[in-house]
Each structure stands twice: as C-alpha cells, then as structure tokens.
Structure 1
Amino acid sequence: MSGSWGKMTAVMWATLVIALLLSVAPMPEHLEIGRPLWLALVLTFWAINYPHQVGLLTAWGLGLAQDILYGTLFGQHALALVLVVFLVVTLQQRLKLFPLWQQSCALLVIYGLAQLVLLWLSTLSGMRPEIGYYAVPVLVSCLLWPWLYLLLSNVKRL
C-alpha cells in the first residue's frame, strides 16, 4: 500500500510540474491567446480524484511558482488557483457524478471566475489587459478538459 501511494504521489507531482512548464513553454504568437490553463486543469483533476492530498496549500505553492515564472504580481495566480481548488473540492462529490461534458460546463464557470479575479487584480495593479487574453483560455481549457481527464486517468492507473 505504501509503495503504490508513493508511486501515485510521484506521478501526481510529475504531472503538476509538467503542467507548470507547459504554462510557460514558448508558443507561436498567434496561438498565445489560446494557451490552456494547464496548471488549473491538472490541479482540478487531482483535486477531484484525491481531494485530501491536493488542497489549498498545494494550489497556493504552485500559484506562487507560476507568479515567479510569469513575472506577475506575487500571489496573483496563487489566489486564482486557490479559488479554483476551493471550488473544485467543495463541488468534488457532484463533479465526480457528472459526465465529462457537464464537468466541462461547470469548469467553464469556475475557470471564468478565476480568470475574472486575475483580470481584476491586473487592472488594480495599473495594467490595461484585453479581456480576450482572459476569456479565450477558459474556453480552450474547457474544450480540452475531457481529453486531459481521460489521459490523466490512464496515467493514474499505471
């Protein structure tokens, strides 16, 4: 039991680190607006399946790492990821019962709220970001959710 749990923890952290790296990986400029919310997606998967292991502290730490990688206001992404994980863990029992397309619809609202917080914080810090840079990643992430869920479910079984 202990060995399989250690393996699962290693897989969980490996996927979270990969998601963190994907969130800053170079993309063509015209595709940058549609970059999925990789870290939020992977955190959501693990929070749905293992809510007692992936919680607010994990989201906060990874959000601070994302703030450092992006060079944004310290704590900005951390606050958004904590909001995502809080809502996902709160709704975890319901989300597990939903089919994947309904999960995507619920995540559209959750990620939209998180991006709204990021937009609000960016505006308060004096930047004038375009709303498209916050709305399009939410749509792309929700379209990507069923495929990522199936992929991570298969990785989890290994």
Structure 2
Amino acid sequence: MSRMPLNNLWALIIVSLTIALVLSVAPIPVFLETARPLWVPLFLTYWVLIVPDRVGLTTAWVCGLLQDILSYTFLGQHALIYSVMIFFVVFVHRRFSMFPVWQQAAALFVFYVLGLLLQLWLMALGGQRIPALSFLLPALVSSLLWPWLFFLMRPLTKRLTVSSED
C-alpha cells in the first residue's frame, strides 16, 4: 500500500480541524454549553501525536486565531490557550504515544485544565465575571471523549496510510 501524498495529508488535517472549529461554535442547548468539549485541542492533540513534524504550535496558533474570529473573543486569546495546551502535548508526545489511551485521557485532562485556568486568568484580566467550578467541565468532557476520537480517527488514518515518514 502506498503512502498518502503530502497534499492529501494536509487536506485531511485541514478538513478535520475545520470540522473541529465548526463543532466548537455550533449551536447547542444552553444547559450543555458549559460542558462543550474542547474540539479544536482534541483534534490538534490527535494530529500532534500522529504527525508531530507537521502539526504543532504554529497550527495551534492559527486554529486559535480562527477560533477567536469565529467566537468574537479577544484576538489571540484562544491562540495563546491552544498553543499552551498543545505545547505540553508536543513536549511529551514521544512518551505520550506509548501510554494506553485511558492514561492519555488522564494526561489530557491535566493539560486542558491548565489551558482553561489560563483562560480564567485572561478573563479576570479582562474584567469579566469569574465562572463557577463548572468552568473546568469542558476539560473533563474532552478527556472522556479522547478515547472515542482516537479510536474513530485511527482507522481512518491507517486506511489512508498517513504516517510521519512521508
């Protein structure tokens, strides 16, 4: 089986990150809004683990800027938060990929909580009201979704023979 050409790899990455951006701003019921998963960091984490030489901090920064534009927040807020989250994943990606998926989910919970605490700090600096402890619920939901995302995306990338040796 031949390897996926570079342009098809980027097409797959762009499509998946576009889906993540759309999911992050798609309307959902108000009572579920506090538990909205961190779709963009989830997909970024997946791609950093699969192709760390092609997806990293720059991709996280660009996706964060797009998220800022889509959600009408301060320009650079999500870019900084996503870059910090993905920095931790990039920093430990070799060891991280050896963990079982449930341990990856636990580590992602910690990384995502750190990103949300950074967001909380930025909100406090901007004079916004500090939310309750439910503010950390997206980190929990995202870490619980990680095994599902991993096991749904993995066969797709295997079938399309995506690898970091292209």
Q: TM-score, normalised by structure 2?
A: 0.91
The match for 2:164 is: none
Report whether the alignment pairs 1:80 with 2:81.
yes
- Contact 1:33/1:132 (<8 A) preserved: no
Give the stretch that moved more between structures: 49-58 or 3-12: 3-12
- Contact 1:63/1:78 (<8 A) preserved: yes
Q: TM-score, normalised by structure 1?
A: 0.95
- Contact 1:119/1:131 (<8 A) preserved: no
Alignment of 1:9-158 (within 5 A): 9-158=10-159
Q: Displacement, 1:132?
A: 3.7
Q: Which has the higher helix share?
A: 1
Letter in 2 for 1:84: M
Q: Displacement, 1:5?
A: 2.6
SS of 2:7's equivalent in the other structure is helix
Give the stretch that moved more between structures: 126-135 or 6-15: 126-135
Q: Displacement, 1:2?
A: 7.6
CA distance in 1 between counterparts of 2:92 and 2:132 reads 27
Letter in 2 for 1:143: L
The alignment's C-alpha RMSD in Å is 1.4
1:55-85 CA-to-partner distances (Å, cap 9, x unmatched) read 1111111101101111111111100110111
CA distance in 2 between counterparts of 1:132 and 1:20 reads 25
Question: How many residues of Structure 1 are paired with residues of Structure 2 in the alignment?
Answer: 158
Structure 2 residues not aligned, in runs of 5+: 160-166
- Contact 1:8/1:156 (<8 A) preserved: no
Letter in 2 for 1:25: A
- Contact 1:55/1:85 (<8 A) preserved: yes
SS of 1:14's equivalent in the other structure is helix
